[in-house]
A and B are shown apart, each in its own frame.
Chain A
Amino acid sequence: MSTVTRVSDLSRREIRSSLREGSLLLHLGPFAQLISGSSDPLIDFLQDTYRDCQVELFPSDVTDVHLNLRAPNILRKFFRPQVVPDPGFEVPAVPLPIEMAPLAFEMGLNLSVALKCCRFVTIHAGVVADKDGAILMSAESGSGKSTLTAALLERGYRLFSDEFALVGLGDAVLQPYPRPISLKEETIPIVRELAGDEWISPIVKGSPKGDIAYRRARRSDIDQSHKQAKAKLILFPEFEPGMRPYKRRLNTAEAILRLIPASTNFGLLGEQAYLAITRLFDDAVAYELSYGSTEQSLSLIDEALQERDDHAA
């Protein structure tokens, strides 16, 4: 009989044998993901960074995603072992040394959600929420999105996702999917400073994207991952060291035109996606932000929220 438990309640042996069998079911937000392919670095990573997540050692139902972390070929299973994520469709993933299994795992899940899951409009964005609603931050990598997401967690916001805004078809409500926040190179010490050392995973060194670490989702984020929120603020942040803080209110047409290319499945969903993205603006207003420090970005967000409230009043 299968039962749902937290990763932290399981022994290493249990996790290993479940991963070997390909029967480890990870529940997170709206997705059930079946994971196979055991390796020590992956088990370490799950026990550290996914410790509060709900899993089953033996799946009780079918799943949205099945991710296999496998060797690229039989040789690489034993000799200088390597790993590639296999989400069941061809992906442009390079084999990584086995120590980087966490990266392969995160990459595999991201590709699965981005390309395979279409029950929601998926937008490449960071999302956090408080009781008044969600803040959606749509940006390219390197724009400071992850740092900003991590900083907002310290301000009492819940983590929805650092990678994907999942917008409900029909109601345009945002769905939490609290995976760990991925941090690159120089953002690692910044977020370590913000969140505290105990919230940062060990660093994966020398990956194709440089040094990588993760800021864990908190137990409260995971336990509330069924609680959706409406968007209140839609941001297009841009970080550049030394930049003067600046914000500009966008009209809805411009904001929609910028969200569409950030979606991984807009063309696939067509009309339903268009209607959902349009409906995001029922309660939300959009801003373009540029800033040179986390402090500045937080003040800009405060100003934007104030403007929105003044407008509503």
Chain B
Amino acid sequence: MAAGPITDDMKWRSSSDGYIATEFDDTYLVFVKASAETHFLNFLSFGIVTETESVAQTATELAMNLRRRFELTDEELTQELVSLTLSELDDTGLIWPETV
């Protein structure tokens, strides 16, 4: 479930000030300061978080950038998977639409 309405043109954003992340074998233990929740993220989810830190991006832009970064094809990293992961990350408070 997302934390609020989601539209295709929303640009997503994150900030490394908001969490503490530690890497363990390609996975990430991420503590979110605002919620005091700890999440265990795979490289793709965590990739979304780091990717949106410097530039806010739409879901489509994100999918493109992630494919380039992890050298994945359209089939390997579908738009659907990116959008689904976005809404899950949205619920943790790790990323948010730029306008919030």
Contact = CB atoms under 8 A, between A and B. Distances in A.
Q: Within 8 Å by CB, do A and B touch in the complex?
A: yes
Interface of A: 251-253, 256-257, 260, 266-267, 269-271, 273-275, 278
Interface stretch (B29-37, B48-56, B91-99): B29-37
Chain B: number of interface residues, binned into ranges: 10 to 19
A274 B22 contact: no
Contacts of B29: 253, 256-257
A165 B25 CA distance: 29
B24 A271 contact: no
Contact of A253 (B20, B22, B36): B22
Given A251-B25, A256-B29, A275 B20 contact: yes
A271 B30 CA distance: 11
Given A267-B36, A274-B20, A274-B36, 12 more contacts: A251-B24, A252-B22, A256-B38, A257-B29, A257-B38, A257-B40, A266-B36, A271-B31, A273-B36, A274-B31, A274-B38, A275-B20
Q: SS class of chain A's interface: helix, strand, loop or mixed?
A: helix
16 contacts: A251-B24, A252-B22, A253-B22, A253-B24, A253-B27, A253-B29, A256-B29, A257-B29, A257-B38, A260-B38, A267-B36, A269-B36, A270-B36, A271-B31, A274-B36, A278-B20
A291 B41 CA distance: 32
Q: Lowest 3 CB-CB distances: which A-B pairs, in order?
A: A270-B36, A253-B24, A274-B31
Contacts of A278: 20, 22
Interface of B: 20, 22, 24-25, 27, 29, 31, 33, 36, 38, 40
Contacts, number: 32
A270 B33 contact: yes
A288 B31 CA distance: 23
A271 B20 contact: yes
Contacts of A267: 36
A271 B36 contact: yes
Given A270-B36, A274-B38, A252 B20 contact: no
Contacts of B22: 252-253, 278
Contacts of A260: 38
A271 B33 CA distance: 6
A207 B70 CA distance: 60
Contacts of B38: 256-257, 260, 274
Contacts of B36: 266-267, 269-271, 273-274
A269 B33 CA distance: 10
Nearest to B20: A274
A38 B31 CA distance: 46
A248 to B, nearest CB: 16
Nearest to B28: A253
A267 to B, nearest CB: 5
A180 B47 CA distance: 49
Contacts of A273: 36
Nearest to A253: B24
Nearest to B24: A253
A211 B57 CA distance: 62
A280 to B, nearest CB: 13
A290 B24 CA distance: 25
